[in-house]
Structure 1
């Protein structure tokens, strides 16, 4: 598991494999001190894998053969994003964890802020799901297309660079280094086209002949692959919605919000795993519920806000407001009121003495504001 930092607390608290299989996400955090969410997920996915292997007797999943070293040093290099190796290494991402990653995980936990790089990683993970994380099958298909421009779905970034050189654009080929452009992105992302590839390659817009040549070559390469890819996904039981349109605990939209074969949901948060209750989906749900339990609760501000005058916010003016007393001899002393309460606008008829300044005054006043 490559997690020696937790071995001591595990030895002190976990006395048997049965206890280990029964640990929850909360147990791992509070009991074993595993505060890193991806470290907890990695351990729980491994526990679930061992539990299923014991139940069905078919052994561990293929993803268990992909350790952290392979993911960080080999896989990230193949998809053209080796610059994220250190971030993946610090999070101890292995094959099981890789299959559960969402866009939110990439952005918040693995420092992948570039949206195109997120799309690249999610589609590369989707390819692993299509092949059931079988490294041997992946390498076999890649070896068969190393010298032929076929099966671009499994191409690495290095193979794409070779193809660029083969179509007489070698002066731009090195621009694809660390770009995240690989075969799965080219085939499964519906927004990927000759214009986006030309932009990545750095081909000037005024070189129309080169752009036309690239368009024709790319169309010849991708058209057959994009026709076959939905059938391959269906055969493997993989959803055909783009991971770029992931609603994962990462629930963000792809640049091209279409339902074409290339627009596939992330393996970590696809409709298919949700229906089959995959271990990764259930573990992420458990993490979210645990987070909600920790943040839920009443506000510590237990007071009723009041106005400076002392009235609570619930005051509606129901209290009767009395008029100030009037002294005898006041011009308003003989002021009398006749109220009509049948309307919100109370009609007042004023009868004043002849000596009052308000003689013959009458009017309508709003008495309930």
Structure 2
């Protein structure tokens, strides 16, 4: 371990004893492994003050006052990691990342790569400072975005859809498609009469089974080149556009994409060309669903300029788990950026869920 590594242990030998029996130095090494080494000294003092003081039993209030973990996302990361060690699922259920997440939680490169994938590399430093890992991403709230300085509604929506597709693949970011090599998809540029080409409700493209919802920002830029829009492709860098945003976000359409690409509004033929290929890419059923949402009363269009205004509610609440044999806290989160019940698009749209979403809290 070294300071230049961001406070992470490059390797860590996990103790054989249960978490409740870990010694003080073992708890300190685990904090370093999680990238939270700045709290090791305070943890040592607190645990040595009384035999009952142990990291496994620390409450959020103790993490704040005794350990000095005042950064809300650091506290959330540590509480989630403690609960995972104690086997406390809380309200997360099956949608929480699997056991393989522990190593990913200690790697700052995982989130950096993912931010590249969703087209938001400008937030790398802020996510790194907040020590965001897959567990934190899974329960990221709208209020958390303020600490990450995400103020754009479009960027927040990009993160939301990126988290959604990660959940479907148990946070295995290697499932994302970062480069081309999918001839069947590239051929859509020269196959506009094929009405079967596109993404079905489950995200698959035609009969080839390729997943546009897994496309990274770079892969979308490659697709633009195949539909003869290569001069505009570089404009997607830092835009937050990726496959899951195209497919899963019902308010994302070719007009939003054209605005992000900086295609002038007076170039109607070019915008029509983009619209044609966009529809081919996402598929007929997704296009129909997007149109249904647009025609619903109270529809709020997705804009590249809209800002979000987080509420001032607390980021999460805690409840004691009842019953014997288990310690720890049960976490319950309000206003998740990506609700746990979020699913891929369906033919029937429940527009009321959009109207009542925190996304309607706009500046």
TM-score (norm 1): 0.57
1:103 counterpart (142, 163, 186)? 142
Q: Which residue of 2 aligns with 1:85?
A: 124
How far has the Cα of 1:50 moved from its partner? Answer: 1.2
Flag the 1:52–1:121 CA change in 2: closer, same or farther, 3 A.
same
Q: 1:201-237: CA deviations, max 9, x gaps?
A: 111222222222111111011016849x9xxxxxxxx
Provide the C-alpha distance between the structure 1 equivalents of 2:84 and 2:299, rounded to a whole number of angstroms. 31
Answer yes or no: is 1:30 the counterpart of 2:30: no
Native 8 Å contact 1:76 1:84 kept in 2: yes
Native 8 Å contact 1:153 1:225 kept in 2: no
Native 8 Å contact 2:180 2:219 kept in 1: no
1:209 counterpart (269, 282, 292)? 269
Paired residues in the alignment total: 235
2:168 counterpart (101, 111, 130)? 130
Answer yes or no: is 1:3 the counterpart of 2:36: yes
Provide the C-alpha distance between the structure 2 equivalents of 1:170 and 1:224, rounded to a whole number of angstroms. 25
Answer yes or no: is 1:94 the counterpart of 2:94: no
Native 8 Å contact 1:71 1:93 kept in 2: no
Helix, strand or coil for the counterpart of 1:171?
coil
How far has the Cα of 1:12 moved from its partner? Answer: 2.2
Q: Which residue of 2 aligns with 1:52?
A: 87
2:54 counterpart (19, 38, 49)? 19
Flag the 1:280–1:157 CA change in 2: closer, same or farther, 3 A.
farther
How far has the Cα of 1:284 moved from its partner? Answer: 4.0
1:169 counterpart (211, 218, 229)? 229
Answer yes or no: is 1:74 the counterpart of 2:123: no
1:199-348 equivalence runs, <5 A: 199-223=259-283, 226=286, 255=300, 282=331, 284=333
Provide the C-alpha distance between the structure 1 equivalents of 2:36 and 2:127, rounded to a whole number of angstroms. 14
Q: Which residue of 2 aligns with 1:182?
A: 242
Structure 2 stretches of 5 or more lacking a match? Answer: 1-33, 90-96, 186-209, 303-327, 335-363
Provide the C-alpha distance between the structure 2 equivalents of 1:17 and 1:167, rounded to a whole number of angstroms. 65
Native 8 Å contact 1:41 1:283 kept in 2: no
How far has the Cα of 1:66 moved from its partner? Answer: 2.5
How far has the Cα of 1:17 moved from its partner? Answer: 11
Helix, strand or coil for the counterpart of 2:331?
helix
Provide the C-alpha distance between the structure 2 equivalents of 1:254 and 1:225, rounded to a whole number of angstroms. 19
How far has the Cα of 1:75 moved from its partner? Answer: 0.8
Provide the C-alpha distance between the structure 2 equivalents of 1:212 and 1:280, rounded to a whole number of angstroms. 54
Flag the 1:74–1:142 CA change in 2: closer, same or farther, 3 A.
closer
Q: Which residue of 2 aligns with 1:314?
A: none
Flag the 1:145–1:43 CA change in 2: closer, same or farther, 3 A.
farther
TM-score (norm 2): 0.58
Higher gyration radius (CA): 1
How far has the Cα of 1:113 moved from its partner? Answer: 0.8
Provide the C-alpha distance between the structure 1 equivalents of 2:120 and 2:147, rounded to a whole number of angstroms. 16
Q: 1:39-81: CA deviations, max 9, x gaps?
A: 1110010011111289xxxx96343343451244211111111
Aligned-pair Cα RMSD in Å: 3.4
Provide the C-alpha distance between the structure 2 equivalents of 1:225 and 1:49, rounded to a whole number of angstroms. 39
